[in-house]
Amino acid sequence: MTALASAFRILRRVCATLTGATGFGIVVLVLVAALFAPWVATADPDRLDVMNRFAAPSSAHWLGTDQLGRDLYSRLVHGATVAMGVALSAIAIALSLGTTLGIVAAYLPARFERFVLIVFDVISSFPSMVLALAIVAVFGPSTLIVVAIAAITLTPHFGRVARAQVLTLKSAPFLEAERILGASFARIVVHHVLPNILGPLVILASMDIPVVITIEAGLSFLGLGVRPPLASWGTLIQDGYQYLSDSWVPVVVSSLALAVATLGFTLFGEALRDAVDPRIRQEL
């Protein structure tokens, strides 16, 4: 009850600024498009109509058609589903994996803690595109691989923040009080530590969504991610780029979709960060 109320309060504060409200509006728009793509779209995104390639925007095809006569607007809407599906699952994996590793690292003896941190550092310092090329070379391109690559790249973010949060919390008297009053280690971690460190992690998650969206689009553009004919913003830009001499519309509208979505999530994430607590700004 109170959690819901405070969520609403935070949301109100997010929307109090112009940038926050803009971000929130774009986020809602993208989410609706992603969740209800079959209804939001006006046509089957994969239906070919070769007679009608590069059609100009019209009432039948709001944004026109691509090189195979597929409805561009519907493909963009379905691209949102791919982008959000990849982003949310990668973030979910990175959030749970990173948080677990971060908490474990904070409670491990110094030697093992350092080992976990070095692994984090190695992943962070390794260019994610090179990592992606290596992984795709081994497993071949697929949507699942994109999720895996994004999750691996982002896990250290969450791990570092979680560890830092636990370290500041670890010696909190109320945790010691719980121990003296007989709480088990597992209960202290799950019941007391986790809820206390979750806030900054959720904000970090919202700010990492655009990062995953661009990773997915980038890999798909290079042909290393989502496989055609599945519509992804990355593959749409790639298709449009190849036929740029025939029509400028596909490449521009799909790039715009990507840019606007990324901007929206970034604005929303930043507003959320500021809305929750100015103190958290430093902790991130």
Partner 1 sequence: MMPLVSIRQLTLEAATTRGAAHILRGIDLDIGRRRIVGVVGESGSGKSSLAACLVRLLPANLSRIDGEIVFDGTDLLGLSEAAMNAYRGTRIAMIFQDPMTALNPLFTIGTHLVDVLRRRHPGLARKVATARAIAMLRRVGIADASLRFSSYPHQLSGGMRQRVLIAMALLVEPDLLLADEPTTALDATVEAQIVALLEELRHGFAGSIVFISHQLGLVAQLCDDLCVMYGGTVVETGPVADVLGAPRHPYTRALLACELDDDAAGGHLVSIPGDVPDPVSAHVACVFAPRCPHATNACRSSVPALRDAGPGRRAACMRMEELG
Site string for partner 1, 123-162 (x = CB under 8 A): ----------------------------------------
Minimum separation from the CB atom of position 180 to partner 1 (A): 5
In angstroms, rounded to a whole number, what is the distance separating the alpha carbons of residues 99 and 118?
A: 16
Minimum separation from the CB atom of position 185 to partner 1 (A): 9
Q: Which is nearer to partner 1, 59 or 185 (CB)?
A: 185
Minimum separation from the CB atom of position 173 to partner 1 (A): 4
Q: Which is nearer to partner 1, 59 or 171 (CB)?
A: 171
In angstroms, rounded to a whole number, what is the distance separating the alpha carbons of residues 53 and 64?
A: 9
In angstroms, rounded to a whole number, what is the distance separating the alpha carbons of residues 33 and 13?
A: 25
Q: Does the protein bind partner 1 through residue 180 (CB under 8 A)?
A: yes
Answer for the pair 233, 34: CB distance below 8 angstroms, yes or no. Answer: no
Minimum separation from the CB atom of position 192 to partner 1 (A): 6
Which token pair is 63?
């944004």
Burial class (CB in 10 A: 0-12, 13-18, 19+), 182: exposed
Minimum separation from the CB atom of position 166 to partner 1 (A): 14
Q: Which is nearer to partner 1, 32 or 183 (CB)?
A: 183
Minimum separation from the CB atom of position 162 to partner 1 (A): 16
Within residues 160-179, the interface with partner 1 by CB under 8 A covers 172-179
Q: Which of 183, 222, 230, 280 binds partner 1 (CB under 8 A)?
A: 183
Q: Does the protein bind partner 1 through residue 181 (CB under 8 A)?
A: yes
Site string for partner 1, 192-231 (x = CB under 8 A): x--xx-----------------------------------
Q: Which is nearer to partner 1, 67 or 196 (CB)?
A: 196
Q: What are phi and psi of 231, to 5 degrees?
A: -80, 120
Q: Does the protein bind partner 1 through residue 112 (CB under 8 A)?
A: no
Q: Does the protein bind partner 1 through residue 182 (CB under 8 A)?
A: yes
In angstroms, rounded to a whole number, what is the distance separating the alpha carbons of residues 41 and 185?
A: 51
Minimum separation from the CB atom of position 198 to partner 1 (A): 10
Residues binding partner 1 (CB under 8 A): 172-184, 192, 195-196
